[in-house]
Amino acid sequence: MVRQINRNGRRDCCFDPVATPGAVALILGSLPGRKSLEMQQYYAHPQNAFWRLITQILGAEWPLPYTRRVKLLTENRIALWDVLAAAERPGSLDSSIVHASAFANDFAAFYRAHPQIRFVYFNGRKAEELYGRFVLPGLSSEFAMLRYVSMPSTSPAHAGMTFAKKLERWRKIKE
């Protein structure tokens, strides 16, 4: 991951994907927040429910070291990435992403390198919106077999849904 600064302010960049060639599902966020960038880990904010949900769904104990969390995903054939390769964003809120500065990751190349992926799960509406805006228009019919599923955001900013309700919805990834 490379963090860039441009003349307009801070530009956040995503991490490399967590994936193995045999992945069948992909979970997409929008772009790493400040704590994640600082820690160099996906979903590093302590109030983000992502890893607690994943470990519970996949039958692991919480807490787990980050390397073990990543291994848990790959062992279960789940990939993890972000829609955007980079964007300007004051703060960590997805609503603060400056669309004019945003550009997407190369999903065509990713899907070709991971041909077994059939399900794409969006971690929140913003990831889904960004994918629809920046990725879908450029994807060819070669990827028509992909099935998209909206999931509730695991962000602490999405406090309107309880952990139990999020867990119930996120259990879909194990199916």
Query: Is the CA virtual torsion 87, 91, 95, 100 positive or negative?
Result: negative
Q: Which one of 8, 48, 105, 123 is the catalytic residue?
A: 48
List the structure tokens of 42. Answer: 């996906």
- b/e per residue, 77-107, with b = 16+ CB within 10 A? bbbbbbbbbbbbbeebebeebeeebbebbeb
8 tagged catalytic: no
- Coil, strand, or helix at residue 125? helix
In 7-144, at which residue ranges do the beta strands (DSSP E only) sit? 9-13, 25-29, 78-82, 84-88, 103-104, 119-123
Q: Burial level of 129, CB count in 10 A (0-12/13-18/19+)?
A: middle
List the catalytic residues. Answer: 48
